[in-house]
Amino acid sequence: MLRYLTGGESHGRCMLTIIDGMPAGLYVDKSIIDLDLARRMLGYGRGKRMAIESDKVDILSGLRKERTIGSPISLLVKNIDDSIDRLSKVYEPRPGHADLSGILKYNLSDIRDVLERASARETVSRVAVGAICKILLAEFGITVVSHVVAIGAAVSKAKNLTFKRIVSSSIKSPVMCADAKASVSMCKEIDKAMSAGDTLGGIFEILIHGVPPGLGSYAQWDRRIDGSLAKAIMSIQAIKGVDFGTGFESASLKGSLAHDEIFYDKRRGFYRKSNNAGGIEGGMTTGEDIIIKAAMKPISTLRRPLSSVDIRTKRAVKAAVERSDVCAVPAAAVIGEAVSSIEIANSLIEKFAGDSIPEMKRNYDGYLAQIKRF
């Protein structure tokens, strides 16, 4: 089983991660992790913090000569802005943030004690873990990409995108959108929100290619792979909805139109002409691309703040204002890629009994041959 724990406050000394269960024999190029950390910092609408930080991973354990050895991998990313002890106390909870429930739950008197850990800065750790998982997935021909579909009222019209196109266009677009025209509208939306002291959310899509059929299981509720992917994505700060394939839209389709008919060809084996299921049926992968969409709410720190209550006096006040982002949907897409990669890697390790990469590959090849013979 692959698992990981993270620690660290937004303006503390560092973000820490320990990964357990990564198979031995995986060559980990640190620059690949740093590349995803850099992608996470990008995106039009990010705040000033991203100009201060320069997220780079330090791998403290678990590798020898850049290869995993089966022991826990420890990762550290330093915070350049590590001013936590100098920061002011906060008493005015922001609607939409963890602030109010956090102080009530932990019996705290300074909201900063909550917001420092609730912050999406924690996703530095998840992106670093996800980058290592992507390296593992690449060994099995699996690729994970993402792109932004909507920001505020601006919606991408790009349809049936190839993986190559998603990667090439997301590099060019300041908001990781594959539709150049929509990309301009999204930036305008962000500008408008910024000058109004407001914030914006949006929708991003994650696509996973090359997954064999049969990851996950229908046999127990917590082994269903759509369940674990949805949990991982919903746990990203500010995510309010996740769907697979035609998702919410499928609720209004007739059965005859909703499902992906099955065909067989000697060369291709079983295949589908559509993928409304988004690559998952019965809690298991079908072998088609996994397609996930996630909705992010607008950032809850507003420069023109909403009504709140001072937790000391109980008087009506305006919510606290912290340095923050106007829109972080492109960053959330990168984080979505990361957490999805972690879940797929975990299922792959489980199915192909992965203590080492060669062992996993033997089991993987045997399974593919079994499917081919079926």
Q: Find out whether 15 and 6 touch, Cβ atoms under 8 Å.
A: yes
- Smallest distance, ligand EPS to C-beta of residue 300, A: 8
324 part of the interface to ligand EPS, by CB under 6 A: yes
Cα 283 from Cα 20, distance rounded (Å): 25
Half-sphere exposure of 14 (CA within 13 A, CB side): 11
Stretch that binds ligand EPS, among 27-35, 275-283, 323-331, 363-371 (CB under 6 A): 323-331
Instruction: Lay out the site mask for ligand EPS across 79-118 (x = CB under 6 A, - = otherwise).
Output: --x---------------------------------x---
In 10 A of CB 109, how many CB atoms?
10
Burial 226-261 (b: 16+ CB within 10 A, else e): bebbbebbeebbbbeebbbbbeeebeeeeeeebebe
Rg (CA), the chain: 22
- Looking at this protein, which amino acid is placed at residue 248? F
Nearer to ligand EPS (CB atom), residue 174 or residue 213: 174
- Give 123 or 173: the residue with its C-beta nearer to ligand EPS: 123
- Report if residue 337 touches ligand EPS, rule: CB under 6 A: no
- Choice between 53 and 359, CB closer to ligand EPS: 53
Told to check if 17 binds ligand EPS by CB under 6 A, we report no
Which positions ≥6 away from 128 have C-beta within 8 Å?
17, 33, 36, 37, 57, 75, 77
Strand partners, 296: 202, 239
**Is 325 near ligand EPS (CB under 6 A)?**
yes
Told to check if 10 binds ligand EPS by CB under 6 A, we report yes
237 binds ligand EPS (CB under 6 A): yes
Would you give the binding string for ligand EPS spanning residues 282-301, x where CB under 6 A is met? -------------------x
Of 119-127, 157-165, 214-222, 263-271, the segment contacting ligand EPS by CB under 6 A is 119-127
Binding site for ligand EPS (CB under 6 A): 10, 47, 49, 81, 115, 119-121, 123, 237, 301, 323-325
